[in-house]
Chains A and B, each alone.
Chain A
Amino acid sequence: MLITCPYCGPRDVSEYSYQGDANRRRPDPASTDQAAWNAYVYDRVNTAGDHKEYWQHSAGCRVHLAVTRNTLTHKISSVAIARDVVVAERKEAAQ
């Protein structure tokens, strides 16, 4: 499997570390809502198909990436720098 890092270009999956499901959103750290924390820690959508996930280019530029990977085929349909995605989401949420 190849992941095309926006900075480094196409690299073998062995250069990357999986950083988890990117669909979930961490509750506010000050929150004491146990159901929300339980859902954040344990609930997964277990998608068969396109799945949003984080990967770190740990043996390369070390940037965290937001990747859409098909769990049935390993086809990667999008890769972006995770920071840029999160900053854009926050901007959108603030509007």
Chain B
Amino acid sequence: MVEMLSPLAPVWRPGPHGDLSAGIGVVMSETQPGSIVQLAAWPGETAGMLAAIDGHTGLSLPDIPGGGVSTETKAAFGFAPGKFLVVDEAEGLAESLSEAIPASLGTVTDLSHGRTALRLAGPKAEWVLAKFFAVDFSLPVFPVGKAVSTGHHDIFALIQRTAPDAFDLYIYRSYARAFWTALGHACEEVGYEVR
């Protein structure tokens, strides 16, 4: 297995930062999943694609906009009509999904090396994200599992809520360092820890 290199390495500063007077509001981390795969169903084949995701990963996604599921080791969600992101801690998901999904159903694109996965967790995670994105992150309308496609100053972001106080963000790898740095600045006033 090839050792994974992080685009965040030059700016990676583990430990507590910012205003810690009220404790640590946010924990920032990089999850480094082994597989990030995009699936796109042809028009009319969404149900078949959802069944294929369920059959292959055991993740049963609700067929609603942004519907998703996350577990300790895997996650999947819809981010556009007929389009899904599937994430696995293990490598090799793109290869096995390519075998499981026939060309008549849709396409499989391996983005494992094209996206950087960040996790924002803690009591102020929702509050910090609300500063960055014009999206309602409150729990009743943005429940655990749900995801959105949005952007912060032209940096595209896919965001999935993985717990009541935790979000996973998928950022284009080449923008990830700039985005991570900006996110750190946004977290300063609530105190944050990089780990």
Give the interface of A toward B (CB within 8 A).
6-9, 11-12, 15, 59-63, 81, 83
A-B contact count (CB 8 A): 39
The answer on a CB contact under 8 Å between B80 and A11 is no
Assuming the contacts A59-B150, A59-B156, asked whether A11 and B134 have C-beta atoms less than 8 A apart, the reply is yes
Tally chain B residues at the interface, Cβ within 8 Å: 15
The answer on a CB contact under 8 Å between B151 and A8 is no
The answer on a CB contact under 8 Å between A7 and B134 is no
Interface of A is mostly: loop
Is B92 in the interface zone, CB < 8 Å from A? no
**Contacting residues, chain B, for A61 (C-beta < 8 A):** 79-81, 83, 149
Q: Which residue of A lies closest to B136 (CB)?
A: A9
- Give A62 to B149 CA distance when docked, in angstroms: 9
A-B contact pairs, 13 of them (CB 8 A): A7-B80, A8-B66, A8-B148, A8-B149, A8-B150, A15-B134, A15-B151, A59-B149, A59-B154, A59-B156, A60-B80, A62-B80, A83-B43
